[in-house]
Structure 1
Amino acid sequence: MPQDIVFSFFLIFAGALVLATIALYTRQPVLIAYIALGAIAGPFGMGWIEHPDALNDMAHIGIIFLLFLLGLDMQPSALIAVLRKATLVALASSLVFFACGFGITSALGYSQTDALIVGLALMFSSTIIGLKLLPTTVLHHKHSGELMVGLLLIQDVIAILTLILLGVMQGTSDIPVWQPFVALPVLVGGCYLVVKMILLPLIRRFDRYQEYLFIMAIGWCLAVAEGARAIGLSEEIGAFIAGVTLATSPIAQFMAISLKPLRDFFLVMFFFTLGAGVNLGMLGDVLLGAGLLAAAVLILKPITFRVLLGRFSERSGLAWDVGFRLGQISEFSLLIGFVALESALLSERASLLIQATAIITFVISSYIVVFNYPNPIAVSDRLRRD
């Protein structure tokens, strides 16, 4: 029987309302409520939503809008300056996290190929968790916000190259490894010209029509995201470039404010589908390994970022702040596991190991940030910053 999309939406948002209310009363992060709802209502829980994969594409739109909004609030000059520093830190930290994941997975008795892919999955931190829990004032106006965005963008580029390499290993990728490096500057230059020659004149002429500006923002974001995917990059990188190239517009802030409710709508779906995708029946088989990997991630990532950022004269407090906010694995990690599993490069047990590690690190790192650092969903008035 086809899944009823209206019933799915009812279950997701009515259920999210109930569990989020309980979470707030018990002083828990609301993100945990969305993940728990997915586990309860998904195919491995009560089975109320049997095919959560059908919602994945819509949930992915939330990530695209999130990156677009980030771009709208970042001036190109500031981005270039922070990327110089972030590139070295991102590359060095990725090597450390890969070695950690590979070593632990090998010691647990997994195959060398499984250990290789799990190591690759551990290299990245979550764009959604990291940026969702960052106050807007920090994200838009503070050095720590710019630094986090720079690190996450470099990680996204590494993740794209990893996905291409997995395709090459299986013989299913038609994209050469060098293509993203050529495609990125081409996309940036093309977007800059379109904004300067077409979009800015249109904005100046029709800036009184708010509905038109809203449609323009969505259309531009998704057009560049699709263009990026067509030339071998990710939709997320395309959306961010769309935002950065439009950031010089005088109405960039209006576009950002008008799109925030739409972004939050899709992000709720993202966390729901994340929880719904966990096979609770097989969880016991990988719980020990996932616990060890999660502990390594939660401890090693903050320390690594603290040491590496400290070498670039960053303040100790800022370095720890960034390290804890990036102290989890990524939605890209889940994608790498999925692609490798579909290509028969990864065992089902190792795939579940990645999923379980992601859930554990998402939950615990969210708790660490929500209860210790300024964030928009803090249960303490002292730490709540919108």
Structure 2
Amino acid sequence: MHSELLFAIGLSIIAASLLGYLTQLLRQPIILGYIVAGIVLGPQGLRLISRQEEITLLSELGLAFLLFIVGLEIDLKKFRSSGQPSAIIGVFQVVLCSALGVWVASLLHFPPLSALYLGVTLAFSSTMVVVKLLSDRSELDTLPGRISLGVLLVQDVLAIVALATQGNVNHPSPIPIILSLFQGVGLVGISFAASKFLLPRMFRSVAQNPELMLVLSIAWCFAMCWFALLAGFSIAMGALIAGVSISTYPYSHEVIVKIRSLRDFFVTLFFVSLGMQIVVTSASTIFMGLFLSLFIIVSRIITIFPAALSLKLGGRVGILTSIALAQSSEFSLVIAAIGVTYGHIKPEIVSLIAITLVVTSTLTTYLVRLSHPVARIVVDTMKRLGFNESAMADEGKADQGQEGEIVLLGCHRLGSALVHELVKAGHPLRVFDFNPVVLERLKAMGVPAAYVDISHFDAIEAAGIERASIIVCTVSDEYLRGTSNAGILQFMRARELKAAVVVQANSVEHAVELYAAGADYVMLPSVLTASQMVGVIQEYEKGNLGDIRKKAIGELGARDEVLT
């Protein structure tokens, strides 16, 4: 028996490694490789593993570690500061998508409990996929990126609520559900009381010993899993609460780093075991999975897009956020897998959810690449139909600027720092940006600003640039979408403006090309930083580094920037 178990584990890891490597080469989410490995090894494939119960049992450890780390990475302070728009969009999206999902599943003649599971699970999006895609495209710190992350945080909280009430969904009377909620509140109360009064002292006492800190963290995770089971909840619920309760500790990052290798091993087995459980009895199962995948994409657009418009975030933000979140979640599989153990749903529902995860995660990879052109088409269409993309769009048309002003195209990190310096020096200034949060901040600071998408040259021209003495593009090509510094420079030169044009380069070669194209000055942040650092090093050699440090800290404290 032991040899069979070792053979099953070894074969699962080998297959997951090979297919995971293949999906990585194809630039697909690696989870897809693990699920496909389970399909290949399981009853739907080569049937090389006959006893998958042991793999499933071990995979529950992976599920516990996965949700423990998810809890550790939920930053409650960030959740509170993620803003009202993210909270409103997140709640609206999950509730409406769930309702639509239940309705559609009922029309497709699924049993009521199966329809409820499909509706709720398909409302969640994949944190893993979204963060990876936005990070690769350097869009995490953009407004759509921050809204997407905020919505994912809201989904995490609502997923905890789903897990807390999951055990009683087959008893829809209010008393069991209320009792379950009280038990959940009690479980959360115990964990947070321990995290406030007991655990800090224990963690401080072992902080100097990384091994003991890791063991204590795992012990806390398993303790909460045990309490969760006693309260009638799943292991996953206990692990998630355990992680959230200590997420604000200064040691949480260290725990995440050390436990990640354990998590990765067991989570691999979890997704392989899920692949083994995928049952495709007929072609209709695949078609149903494809239809539900289409439903996920459409449901994100019809819930997030109008919510973003109603909050005056603009059509562009609405479309980009909708596309970024247009996939199902690993959490959906977790909830569905637990539903099978409760006897609420059949394994076929897990199969459908797994198919949607595979399809939507793959499609999102390509849709995100097209998201900016699609957003531009939608915004242009809205304008032709007479809709303002944002209430702030009119402000850019009303103010045509003043003679000799400096116009900043974009207000990201560099632009934020430039605004502070130019305001401090008393220069006449105007900023073009399409981030409503940035525009509100500029308005509060008394800095003239216009709602302008700088990838639309006609929008720049309509906002008025004839009176400018200097036009500065503060955004590098790494963050620009739909245009480039070279494109902006070409547009400015074609207009034969009297203003000097300053652009930004990513490399020395790029800077030379921009100068050749007619730029009056090219900012190369790496060169400027290196020049400044030489001065710091020279002061250090003179023994003046302490004075420079003190001065730098004072200057940072006195800065009043748009982005903090």
TM-score class normalised by the smaller sequence? 0.7 to 0.9
Match of 1:130 in 2: 127
Shift of 1:38: 0.8
CA distance 1:63–1:145, change in 2 (3 Å): farther
Structure 2 length-normalised TM: 0.55
Q: In 1, are the aligned partners of 2:333 and 2:354 still within 8 Å (CA)? A: no
> Once the two structures are superposed, what CA deviation does each residue of 1:36-61 show, in whole Å capped at 9, x if it has no partner?
11111002221111232432232233
Q: In 1, are the aligned partners of 2:87 and 2:150 still within 8 Å (CA)? A: no
Shift of 1:297: 2.0
Q: For 1:1-386, list aligned pairs within 5 A.
A: 4-80=4-80, 89=89, 92-108=92-108, 110=109, 114-115=111-112, 117-125=114-122, 129-131=126-128, 133-135=130-132, 144-166=148-170, 168=171, 176-280=176-280, 282-308=281-307, 311-312=310-311, 316-317=316-317, 320-321=320-321, 324-325=324-325, 327-328=327-328, 330-332=332-334, 334-335=336-337, 338=340, 342=343, 352=348, 354-371=349-366
* One-letter identity of the residue aligned with 1:231: A
CA distance 1:26–1:187, change in 2 (3 Å): closer
Shift of 1:148: 0.7
Distance (whole Å) between structure 1 residues aligned to residue 103 and residue 196 of structure 2 = 50
Q: In 1, are the aligned partners of 2:277 and 2:351 still within 8 Å (CA)? A: no
Deviates more, 1:268-277 or 1:210-219: 268-277
Shift of 1:75: 3.9
Shift of 1:227: 1.6
The structure whose Rg is larger is 2
Shift of 1:223: 1.4
Shift of 1:177: 0.8
Q: Percent identity?
A: 20
Gaps of 5+ in 1: 375-381
Structure 1 length-normalised TM: 0.78
Deviates more, 1:208-217 or 1:233-242: 233-242
Distance (whole Å) between structure 2 residues aligned to residue 142 and residue 90 of structure 1 = 12
Q: Which has the higher strand share?
A: 2
Gaps of 5+ in 2: 370-477, 480-564
Deviates more, 1:365-374 or 1:57-66: 365-374
Distance (whole Å) between structure 2 residues aligned to residue 126 and residue 34 of structure 1 = 23
> Once the two structures are superposed, what CA deviation does each residue of 1:305-357 show, in whole Å capped at 9, x if it has no partner?
343355456575377436643522611552376267x46xx6x6xx52x2343
Distance (whole Å) between structure 1 residues aligned to residue 322 and residue 358 of structure 2 = 17
CA distance 1:99–1:47, change in 2 (3 Å): same
* One-letter identity of the residue aligned with 1:229: L
Distance (whole Å) between structure 1 residues aligned to residue 28 and residue 196 of structure 2 = 45
* One-letter identity of the residue aligned with 2:255: M
Deviates more, 1:96-105 or 1:220-229: 96-105
Q: For the aligned residues, what is the CA RMSD?
A: 3.7
Answer 1 or 2: higher relative contact order, Cα 8 Å, separation at least 6: 1
> Once the two structures are superposed, what CA deviation does each residue of 1:288-310 show, in whole Å capped at 9, x if it has no partner?
33332232123213442343355
Distance (whole Å) between structure 2 residues aligned to residue 142 and residue 86 of structure 1 = 8
> Once the two structures are superposed, what CA deviation does each residue of 1:95-143 show, in whole Å capped at 9, x if it has no partner?
53344444444444x36xx15522432222487943365249859x966
CA distance 1:163–1:323, change in 2 (3 Å): farther
Distance (whole Å) between structure 2 residues aligned to residue 227 and residue 153 of structure 1 = 20
Distance (whole Å) between structure 2 residues aligned to residue 284 and residue 205 of structure 1 = 59
* One-letter identity of the residue aligned with 1:365: T
